[in-house]
Amino acid sequence: MNINKTKWMIFGVAVIVAGCATYPDQATTKLMAEKMVYDAFTFAPEHKKRLDQDRSQQICSKIGDAKLTNEEAAEVVKLARASIKYPASGNLVGNWKEGDKLAHNGAGDRIRNGKVEKRKENGALCQNCHALAPGEINVGNVGPSLTGYGKQRGNSEAIAKYTYEKIYNAWVVFPCSNMPRLGATGHLTPEQITHMVAFLIDPQSPINK
């Protein structure tokens, strides 16, 4: 035992002297990096959850070109399915005008100097990543274009339900996609999501003009 220990110590010294430092393994990396996260941020106890990863986020944090396994994808979809809640009214299609405003609102709930950005409600962030009404210039392209969304799909009950669920938890359709699980993480309320559905599928909405 003692001999073994000494051996290891000698080996360790040799490693450093020879400059054979190398990349840490996955487990060590994770341990170090997770500690860095909690050391790096100042947060009130109620905001710790913004740093903690839920099970789906852990699965969806693949490094580099690493891919999801079928089992992982299935788990994420299952968790997403279970997360979806519907508005109390049961009506999935709200007011497209409200949805239009929300789609162009990227604010709400950001934290600076310990203060949470106060807004009447959180914006739906759509404009940041998606093309919206035809001809609108100041839109992102991280996500696919939503121009003509309802025109192409119609506004049937089935489409309304699919759209609601996709916004509530995008990972129910595409596990680990870049799209935030806006309802499931609590960023948007079920009622807000009904407005987003209306904005996307209502024939009167600028999206479908």
Partner 1 sequence: MRQLRRQFLKLTGSASVLTAAVSAGLLKSGNALASTWNKAGFESKSVVDIQKSLGATSMTDSKNITITAPDIAENGAIVPVAVTSKIPNTQSITIIAEKNPFPLAASFEISGGGEGYVSTRVKMGQTSNVRAIVKADGKFYTAVKEVKVTVGGCG
Partner 2 sequence: MEIMRGAGFTAGVMLLVTLSLPAAAQNDLSVGRKMLVEDNPGELWIDQGKDLYYQKRGPKKASLEQCDFGMGPGKLEGAAARLPRYFADTDRVEDLESRLLTCMSTLQGFDKNEVAKKAISSPRSRGSDIEALALFITSKSNGMKVNVTLSHQKEYDAYKAGEYLFYRRSGQTDFSCDQCHGEANKRIRLQDLLHMTSAAGAQEVASTWPAYRGAHYVVRTMQWRLNDCVWQMRLPDLKYGTDYSIALTTFLNRRGNDAVIQVPGFKR
Task: Give the integer Cα–Cα distance in Å for 35 and 6.
Answer: 30
CB 103, min distance to partner 2, A: 12
Q: Residue 143 interacts with partner 1 (CB under 8 A)?
A: no
Q: Residue 14 interacts with partner 1 (CB under 8 A)?
A: no
Interacting residue with partner 1 among 138, 141, 152, 157 (CB under 8 A):
138
For residue 112, the SS3 value is: strand
Q: Residue 121 interacts with partner 1 (CB under 8 A)?
A: no
Between the two ends of the chain, the Cα-to-Cα distance in Å is: 78
With 0-12 CB in 10 A as exposed, 13-18 as middle and 19+ as buried, what is 97? middle
Footprint on residues 31-50 left by partner 2 (CB under 8 A): 32-33, 36-37, 39-44, 47, 50
Footprint on residues 60-89 left by partner 2 (CB under 8 A): 60-64, 67-70, 73
CB 61, min distance to partner 2, A: 5
90: alpha, beta or left, given left = phi > 0 and alpha = psi -120 to 50? left
The footprint of partner 2 on this chain (CB under 8 A) covers a number of residues equal to 74
